[in-house]
Amino acid sequence: MNASSILTFSTSFALVTLSLGLLLTVLRILRGPSLPDRVLGLDMLVAIAIGFIAVIAIRSGFNLYIDIAIALSLVGFLATVAFARFILARGLSPEMEKGQESLPKPKRDKPARRRHKGAR
C-alpha cells in the first residue's frame, strides 16, 4: 500500500462520513422542534460544508479552496451571531411559552407619583 492509495481511501471515507453528517443535519433542521435547534443545524451545515471544501482541497491539491473555507467560516460565524441576537431579541419561543402558561405572571407595582413643588 503506497501513500497515494492511503490518501485516496482517507478522502473517500471522509466524503462518505461528511455526506452522512449532512443528511442527518438536514433531517434535524427539517424536524427541529424549535428555532434554536434549526439555527444550530444551520451552523452545523456550515461546518460540514467547510469540511467538504477541505477534503476537496486535499484531494485535488488546489490550495485556493482553503481560502474559500476560511471565508465561509467567517461568514458562518457572523450568521450564527446574528441568529443568536435575533433569538434573544425575540424572547421566548412559542414552544417555551406553552410550558409557561401555568405560571402566574409577576405583578408590577406602579411607581409612586411625585408632586410638583407648586402642587398641594
- Please give the pLDDT value at position 92: 60
Comparing CA positions, the residue from 10, 8, 38, 13 lying closest to residue 26 is: 38
Q: Is the pLDDT of residue 99 over 90?
A: no
pTM of the model: 0.71
pLDDT digits (tens, 9 = 90+) for 12-28: 999 999 999 999 999 99
Average pLDDT of the chain?
86
**How would you class 101 by CB atoms within 10 Å of its CB: exposed for 0-12, middle for 13-18, buried for 19 or more?**
exposed
- Please give the pLDDT value at position 91: 74
Q: What is the DSSP letter of 93?
A: -
